Each structure stands twice: as structure tokens, then as C-alpha cells.
Amino acid sequence: MNRINQRFAELSSAGRKGLIAFCTANFPDKQGFAQLLDELPGAGADLIEVGMPFSDPIADGPTIQRSNKVSLAARTRLVDIFSLTTEWRRTNQHTPLVLMGYYNPVLQFGEDAFIEECRQAGVDGVILVDLPPEEGADFFARAESAGVAVIRLVTPTTGSERMRLLCGGLTRGFVYYVAVTGVTGGKKAEQGKVMAHMAELRRAANLPLAVGFGITGPEEARSMASAGDAIVVGSALIRAIEEGGVQQGLTFIRRLREGLDGA
């Protein structure tokens, strides 16, 4: 079983909500990012999303844009990310890891080479924000065949028919519900609207549902988690790291974990 599916099965069995932590590769620096990978699971992250840096991250707000600039200034390439994840997998075989980013770096790397590197480096899934299923059908099919889950994004403006197109046939991973219209780290979601749309999404998708965008603290995490199976936090984690370093970021994740567990 794919590590993502296994983790969600464990969470469901325990009656717990999942915490998915996003951080851009090599942010705040190479050493700090390696520390994050090592210590996020112990701080309470059930799954880790690693951002593949890109010069024009159209779905991301100022905070994640800054982290992209830091990563690109460090000359982070896909080959470096695969090297990092390969090394990390030597000591962590259990925590699911997903790569998130944009299609252009994958195209330049080569689709088949990217899928094979994911498989060898222990990457469990991929989110490509700007590659719709109509354009990426062959790539997504090859990724799924190789055991790399295709994670689809659904937004507040996604209609029922589009939901079924996006989610139909997927058997691995989860569906990522973007709780607000706009970029990451922006306005906060309205729980009532999220709950209503998530109920519709639940009927269209036979996979766990994760809610992201606009979650900044334990109360919001707990509120948004009630609509799905997990929450995703990125911008707020990166801001915590900017303000106080990796340890402050890890403390923030611990607070979110406590909030989700009702502590």
C-alpha cells in the first residue's frame, strides 16, 4: 500500500485528523531544511510536502514566494531534492512525502526521468498546480502506474462535474481542497462554505480529503479539519521559520498537532 494511503488508514483507525506540513526545499537553508525533514514527524506532521522551487509560483502568496527565492538563490535543482529525499529515506521509511510545484521544472527534467527518480527516492506523490488532467493525462497515468500518487487540487469554484473529472479513477493519495479563492497565505476560509463544498467533494472522491490555504493557528486547524481528514499548513510554517528559525517552526507544528488532538 502507498505510504499516503497507509497513513490515512492509521489516522482513521485512531480517530485522528492528519497534519500535512509544507516547506520549500532548502528553506531556510540546506542544513535547516534537512533538520526540518528529520524532525517534522516527531513534532506531529503526518505527511510532508516539499516545495519544488520555481521562479513564477502563480498559486503562492508573498511568503512562499520568498521561500522560493531563497531556495533558487541556493541553486536548488530537482536532482538536489531527489538526493535529499533519498538520504532522508535511509532513516525514515514511514512518513509519506509529496513533491509540490509547477510543471515547467518537471518538463525540463524529463517526465519519465522525474517519475523514475520519484520512485527511487521514496517520493510517494506529486502535486503539479498548473498541469490540468486534460493536458497531463499521459504523465499522470505513468506516475500512477509507477506507484506515485497524483494529488489533485479542488477549489471553491470547482463544479460537481469537474470534481468527478478530477477525482474519478484515482486510487492513491488524497484530494487537496483549496479552502479559499486566491493565493496561499491570504484570506481566511469561511467554515460554512468549506463544509458545504467538502460534502459535495466527498461524494465525488473516494479518497481522503485534506484542506489547505489560510490556516494560521490551532483553532483554525481544528475548525477546518472538521470538514475533512487532514489540514495542510505552509505559509504559516514558513513565517514561523522566518521569525524564529527551524525550532520556532517545529514549535508551531507541535501547537497545531495539539490543537487537532484537542489538547
Digit-coded pLDDT (tens) for 111-163: 999 999 999 999 999 999 999 989 999 999 999 999 999 999 998 888 888 98
Cβ atoms < 10 Å from Cβ of 137: 11
Confidence at residue 1, expressed as pLDDT on a 0 to 100 scale? 65
Confidence at residue 59, expressed as pLDDT on a 0 to 100 scale? 72
Active site residue: 46, 60, 220, 229, which one? 60
CA distances from 43 to 10, 94, 122, 233 (A): 17, 15, 21, 14
In what helix (H) or strand (E) does residue 187 lie, and over which residues does it extend? none
Average pLDDT over residues 167-185: 76
Higher pLDDT, 263 or 1: 1
Residues 19 and 234 sit within 8 Å (Cβ to Cβ): no
Q: Tell me the three cell numbers of residue 93.
A: 521509511
Higher pLDDT, 237 or 187: 237
Edge-to-edge strand ranges of the sheet holding 47-51: 149-150, 125-128, 97-101, 47-51, 18-24, 230-233, 209-212, 175-178, 152-154
Q: pLDDT digits over 53-105, tens only?
A: 998 877 777 898 999 999 999 999 999 999 999 999 999 999 999 999 999 99
Confidence at residue 182, expressed as pLDDT on a 0 to 100 scale? 47
User: Helix H segments across 26-159?
Assistant: 30-43, 62-73, 78-88, 103-109, 111-121, 133-145
Among 11-20, 113-122, 205-214, which is the least confidently predicted range?
A: 205-214
Q: Which CATH number fits domain 3-12+19-257: 1.20.1250.20, 3.60.150.10, 3.20.20.70, 3.40.50.2300?
A: 3.20.20.70
Distance between CA atoms of 29 and 34, rounded to whole angstroms? 9
Instruction: Report the range out of 37-46, 171-180, 185-194 with the highest average pLDDT.
Output: 37-46
Q: pLDDT digits over 245-255, tens only?
A: 999 999 999 99
130 a catalytic residue: no
Taking 50 as the threshold, does the pLDDT of residue 183 lie above it?
Answer: no
Average pLDDT over residues 28-53: 97
Dihedral sign from CA coordinates of 45, 32, 2, 144? positive
In sequence order, what DSSP letters do the residues of 201-246 get, joined into one string? HHHH-SS-EEEESS--SHHHHHHHHTTSSEEEE-HHHHHHHHHHHH
Q: Report the candidate in 71, 75, 69 with the shortest Cα–Cα distance to residue 50.
A: 71
Domain-wise residue ranges, the chain: 3-12+19-257
Taking 60 as the threshold, does the pLDDT of residue 263 lie above it?
Answer: no
161 a catalytic residue: no
Mean pLDDT of the chain: 90
Confidence at residue 9, expressed as pLDDT on a 0 to 100 scale? 96
Q: pTM value?
A: 0.93
Q: How far apart are the first and last CA of the chain?
A: 31
Q: In percent, how much of the chain has pLDDT > 90?
A: 69
SS3 per residue for 111-136: HHHHHHHHHHHCCCEEEECCCCHHHH
Taking 80 as the threshold, does the pLDDT of residue 237 lie above it?
Answer: yes
Residues 6+ apart with CB under 8 A from 126: 98, 99, 100, 118, 143, 148, 149, 150, 151
Active site residue: 49, 124, 220, 229, which one? 49
